[in-house]
Structure 1
Amino acid sequence: MSRTPAVDSAAPGFTLPGTVRTDSGPQRGSYTLGEHGGGPLVLVFYPGDNTPVCTKQLCSYTSELERFKDLGATVWAVSPQDLDSHEGFAEQYDLRFPLLADTDRAVAKAYGISLPGLGLRRSVFVVDGEGAVRWKHVALAGLTFQDVDTLTARIAEVTQGRRAG
């Protein structure tokens, strides 16, 4: 298995299909890390749509999405399910950030969080506008997740030019 990228190193690049729920319905597109640019990106890897912990995690992030936006941050969530699954999940819980489909787990492998036969480790990476990892959390068991207060504090450190380490 690959190692997770170190803080202050380049985040592994990728392009994945994704969907985002909007008032006019789901919008599908391609999401490329290298084209993100601008403010920080909160890259959330979660094991699966419609599972108890993942649902709680992503609902907490969407309910506090303005706090991320106020810091100039964008949230993308990545899991192995396909776009149809993501669209149903986003609609059921009104998730308002892109859900990306890493169906072959290539991106999870590149980030060193793939678990053969089990999926992936629940993880969060804060990537700055230049594509460098500025903070990360990789769960051992994945039964808990990083809360909005923790993430927004780390993003604030990144946007203020301090290492969030």
Structure 2
Amino acid sequence: MLKVGAKAPVFTADSTKGPVDLGEYVGKQTVVLVFYPGDDTPVCTKQLCALQDNYARLQQKNTAVFGVNPGELGKKQSFAEKFHYDFPLIADEGQKIREAYDVGKILGLFFQQRIVYIIGRDGTIVYAKKGNPPVSELLAVLEAHGQ
């Protein structure tokens, strides 16, 4: 897992909302980057639905939200439509984004770990946590960083 203060790797990838170029957000918006193990699984659905439920609050803080995992884009599209996610789910084909962000695999197996990063407008990581932190914690971090 990358540490707070590290420069966030930029990437370009396909998502449920079209191509995403993380570099376009540097200097403009804070980014919440959520690495989750699987599409349409119970815990991942709960985590992403909590973000969706608070999406307007996150947007008010000039914050972009992205979910990331190595699953195929078609499955992500179905998952996003089923739960009406307004934020993009990124298809990490080749797992290059996971590797760049030092996201390990659960027990070294197939699924990636669950990690949430918040990237400040200056492109550095201001928050990094394994697991499923409550959205209230993410909002508090954004508030503390002037968002």
Correspondence for 2:138: 151
User: Per-residue deviation at 1:70?
Assistant: 1.4
116, 128, 133: which one aligns with 1:124: 116
Root mean square deviation, CA, Å: 1.3
SS of 2:145's partner is helix
Q: Normalized per residue, which structure has more helix?
A: 2
CA distance in 2, matches of 1:89, 1:71: 26
Runs of 4+ in 1 over 4 A off after TM superposition: none
CA distance in 2, matches of 1:112, 1:154: 21
Gap runs ≥5 in structure 2: none
Matched, 1:15 2:16: no
Q: How many aligned positions are there?
A: 144
- Aligned 8 A contact 1:5 1:12 in 2: no
SS of 1:13's partner is coil
Quick check: which has more Rg, 1 or 2?
1
CA distance in 1, matches of 2:145, 2:75: 33
User: Per-residue deviation at 1:39?
Assistant: 2.0
User: Per-residue deviation at 1:119?
Assistant: 2.1
Q: Normalized per residue, which structure has more strand?
A: 1
Partner deviation per Cα, 1:88-115 (whole Å, 9 max, x = no partner)? 0011111110100002211111111131
Gap runs ≥5 in structure 1: 21-28, 140-144, 161-165
Q: Give 2:138's aligned amino acid.
A: L
SS of 1:131's partner is coil
Q: TM-score, normalised by structure 1?
A: 0.82
SS of 1:125's partner is strand
Correspondence for 1:142: none
CA distance in 1, matches of 2:111, 2:123: 25
User: Per-residue deviation at 1:8?
Assistant: 1.2
Correspondence for 2:70: 80
Residue identity over aligned pairs, in percent, reads: 34
- Aligned 8 A contact 1:125 1:136 in 2: yes
